[in-house]
Structure formats: structure tokens, C-alpha cells
A and B are shown apart, each in its own frame.
Chain A
Amino acid sequence: MTDKVLMKGNEAFAEAAIRGGCRYYFGYPITPQNEIPEYMSRELPKYGGSFLQAESELGAINMAYGASASGGRVFITSSSPGIALMQEGMSFLSSAEVPLVVVNVSRGGPGIGGIQPGQADYIQATRGGGNGDYKVPVFAPSSLQEAVDLIYEAMELADIWRNPIMIYTDGILGQMMEPVVLPEPRPVTEYSELKQKKPWALSGYGDDDSKRRVVKSLRMDPNELEMHVEALFEKYGRAEKELVRVETAGLEDAEIVFVAFGTVARITKEAIELLGESGVKAGLIRPVSLWPFPYDAFDALTDKTKVVISTELSMGQLVQDVQIGVGKRFPIRLITRTGGIIPTSREIVERALGILSDISV
């Protein structure tokens, strides 16, 4: 027997962040992620951490900016409309190279939308919803265990890359319960170690330090700004090589190749089993990193493949990356549900078979 515990997704996300070293959480309530701030308000003080309910999502991300610029390890969460409000901050933190881990427990939109699961913030997450040229690594878990592992790792990655990192989940993952194995709590950086571990952080002059440190996103001199953006893109270029994560299955002889992430990938896996039972071979590309996107995974497709289907809870956002990965080699189709509706595996099977017969005509 392992040390499995049964946890609700949102609570597991929060616990993984604490164990990953989070000591500052700023939030504003929004369904379907409210168990995260509730959990943080109860648990974080036990570790000497600080929970603060901000006056809005704008407040939350700017508090996160300040706390992380000062060297604290910060974790924030929200759901789609709230994440939209945080986009200005995402741009500022990215420019200022300030670490942060953000979880989107995504729901249906546009606008206030609904509170049921959605994936329609894909473009915002992967292309940057704020102003200017910047990139944010985005990871999309499809089980609670994977979410726990990714959040725990992201708390470290954000510091290493000095960049915000987003974990893109949805209302199903936030609300569901599954057994998880929690990682060992990481030691927290003490204040006395900050100057050595985060020499850029605004941790105070202290006794022996005369070097002025500046964290900023304003650069009035165009030459300075261009050099800064080029340096950021040198970093993003490395991230594109080093942070790609993908799971693939059954590509070698698949007639249908599905592309799906998060919970939808799990439903699609069952659809692939059902298709197999009826004699149709199907495979899966599951991007775990949405940015950088695993375009190279499409190189494994063979001439047995008749169609590539993007299965998503949005009206054709993921498919834009599928198009880049596939090029003109195969026809591409969409299976979408939106508004908070989740397709069953049987629905995916029926629609995929319909697409296959249309393609074959």
C-alpha cells in the first residue's frame, strides 16, 4: 500500500503547491476553484505562509507580482473570467521575469459564461492574453496525479526560468476526487538564503550589499526594450526545446489520430478503446505542454492515417496548433462541445465514425 490519499482536485492542487514551496497565496473566489482559496486559508498559515483574499483578480495578481519580486514563492489560481482579468499581470510578470505559478480551473465562456468545464481559454493561455511579446509555459494535466506532479514541479520551474507558468485544468479536474500520492514537502528558501538563491529579488539591502536591484517592465528607451525582448525570446527559444511534454499512443497504425488534452484526452482514450472494439484503429496525441506545443509528435503519423481530429471543449482553438503540426499532410477535422457540455466517449466515437465515412467517400 502506497501513501495514496483521496483528494478533491482543487484541494490536491493547493496541497501540491504548498509542498512545492508556496508560502504566499492571493485569490478571489470564483467557481469551480473555490476549494483552493478555502484550503489555502486554512492550511497555509500552518506552514508560516500567508493567505490573502484580494479585492479582485487584478489585486490578486499584482499582490503576487510584489510578493514574488521580493523573493517569495507564490501560487495563485482562478477560473476563466478571473484568469482573463489577470492577463495584464501575466504580461508584466513575464516582462519583469518574475516567477509565478498560476492555475486556471477553466469553465465555459465567453463572458461570465457558465460554471461547467471548458477549454476555451486555449488561445489566451498559449498565445499570451496580455499585451506585448511574451510567452508563458502552459501544462495541461489529465489526472489529479499528473496535476499534483506538474504543480509541484512548476513551483521549481518558475524560479528556474524566472517566468510565470500556467497549469491549465478544467472544472472536472477541479471538482473530481481521485487517489493521489503527494510529493515530499520541499524545503523553503530562508530569507538569509535569498540573496544567494534569487540575487535579482528585492529582498532588501541588508548589511553588506550595495548593489541596487530593479524589477520592472517599463523600458522607455526603444533600444533597451528591444534588447530586453530579444533576451526574453532567447529564453523562450530554450523553453521551446526543453519544456515540450507529450503523451502519444497507437500512432503507428492509426486510421484516426485524435488530439486532445486534459480531461477530454481521458474521454478520448475510452473512445479509442471503443473504436478498437469495432475494428477502427485510432491513436492519440495528448499535449501535456500546450506551450511549447509538441509539433514534432505529428512526425510519427504514417500513411495509414486518414484523418486527424482535434477533440476540444472550444470551437476550434487547439486545432490551430494541430494545423501547424500536421501541415497539409492529412485532413483535419474537429469534434467540439462548448458551453460546459462534456462529450461522452460514445458521442466521440459516433462523430469520429461519421467523419471517417465522409473522408472516405
Chain B
Amino acid sequence: MGTYRMFFAGSGGQGVILMGQMVTHAAMLEDRSSTFFPSYGPEMRGGTASCTVIVSDKEVSCPIINEADILVAMNLPSLLKFQPTLKPGGVILLNTSRIDQKPSREDITAIDVPVNDMAAQLGNARVANMIMLGAFVRATGVVAEESIKEVIAATIGAKRADLLDINLKAFDMWKQTA
């Protein structure tokens, strides 16, 4: 368990803030410490968006990260900006639908998840972030699948119950192959 320090990054509208919030929320349901800090500024749809998430079994003292254990990169600028901050041995989840480069770091594990292509198969482009969230949870085990599904049900179910099924389907789409 220990402490996980993470960046979720992409462009505005890709749902990276929601992913970060959901992971933070799921950790809270597990009675662990969690902190979410979004980049904020004169930002807009199509601009950059990122957030820092820390999940820990200890009290989270510092909300600012030196080195990340995990990077979720939804577009190329996010990969380029954040990959230098990864720890050796860290993990990058790459949205290969929008990133056509390999990470320059060789001391990390890269996991390819073509979320936009997969979302197109489901017929709903807007659930791409839920596909990534499912891959993130299954590949890293930062939070348990049950707790994040509880968060999805509470967050999406409360506002748009009609969209809950497709979001859960998206969440379950990525399977660990290795």
C-alpha cells in the first residue's frame, strides 16, 4: 500500500479532473488519506488540465509532488510535460488514441490504452475517461474496483442515472493482458 503520488493530465474536456476526483473520493471510502489539487488558471475547453492526487495510508502532509509514481497522460503535451517527474520504475498510462510517441523514459512502465478508439466502439466519445479510469485502477491497484464503482454510481448515478450503465461498461472495458 504505502503512498501513491499521481498526475492526471490532458486537455480541458477530456475528464482528467473528474478522474482525479473519483480516485480521491474512492480512497476516502476506503478510509485512507487522499488529497486532490487541480492546476487552476485561465483555463478553458481545449486548454491544458491536470491535477495532483495523493493516496496514502498515512496522513498526507504535502499536497505538492516532487516525484510521481503514476502519470495518466491523455494527450501528447501532458506526456511531454509530466514524464520527467516520474520516479524510476513509475507507471504511465498512455492514451495512445491521442499520443503517437513512445515515452522517452526507459526506466518506467508504459501501458497503452487507446481510450478514444475504444470509446468510439462503445458509441459514446464522452466515456473515454471512464475507460482510462478502469485501466488505471486495474493496472495500478491504487484503489479497489468496488470503491471506485461506488463513486461512479454515486457521482454519475445522482446526476444522470441514464448514463450510469454506459459509464460502468466503459470502466470495465480495458482488461489487463499481460
Residues of A within 8 A of B (CB): 1, 4, 6, 31-32, 115-116, 171-172, 175-179, 263, 266-267, 269-270, 273, 342-346
Cα separation A48 to B122 with both chains bound (whole Å): 46
* List of B residues within 8 angstroms of A270 by Cβ: 61-62
B25–A172 CB distance below 8 A = no
**Interface band, chain B:** 20 to 34
Contact A177 B36 (CB under 8 A): yes
Is the pair A175, B28 in contact by a Cβ cutoff of 8 Å? no
A178 CA / B24 CA spacing, docked (Å): 8
Q: Which of B24, B28, B33, B40 contacts A32 (CB 8 A)?
A: B40
Q: Say whether, besides A32-B40, A171-B40, A267 and B34 are in contact (CB < 8 Å).
A: no
- Docked pose: A342 CA to B52 CA in angstroms: 14
Complex CA distance for A115 and B36, rounded to whole angstroms: 18
Please state if A266 and B63 are interface contacts (CB–CB under 8 Å): yes
Distance between Cα atoms of A345 and B65 in the complex (Å): 8
Contact bitstring B79-121, A, C-beta under 8 A = 1, else 0: 0000000000000000000000000000000000000000000
Interface SS, A side = mixed
| A176 CB contacts on chain B under 8 angstroms | 35-38, 63
Q: Which residues of A lie under 8 Å from residue B24 when comparing CB positions?
A: 6, 177-178
B177: CB under 8 A from chain A? no
**Looking at the complex, which one of A4, A115, A266, A267 makes contact with B41 (CB distance below 8 Å)?**
A115
**Are A344 and B64 in contact, CB atoms less than 8 angstroms apart?**
yes
Q: Which of B34, B41, B62, B66 contacts A178 (CB 8 A)?
A: B34
Give A6 to B53 CA distance when docked, in angstroms. 13
Residues B61 and A179 in contact, CB atoms below 8 Å apart? no
Pair A115/B40 contact, Cβ less than 8 Å: yes
Q: Are A178 and B36 in touch, CB under 8 angstroms?
A: yes
Find out whether the CB atom of B64 lies under 8 angstroms from the CB atom of A4. no
Task: Pull 9 A–B residue pairs with CB atoms less than 8 Å apart, ordered by A.
Answer: A4-B28, A6-B24, A6-B34, A171-B40, A178-B24, A179-B28, A267-B63, A344-B66, A345-B64
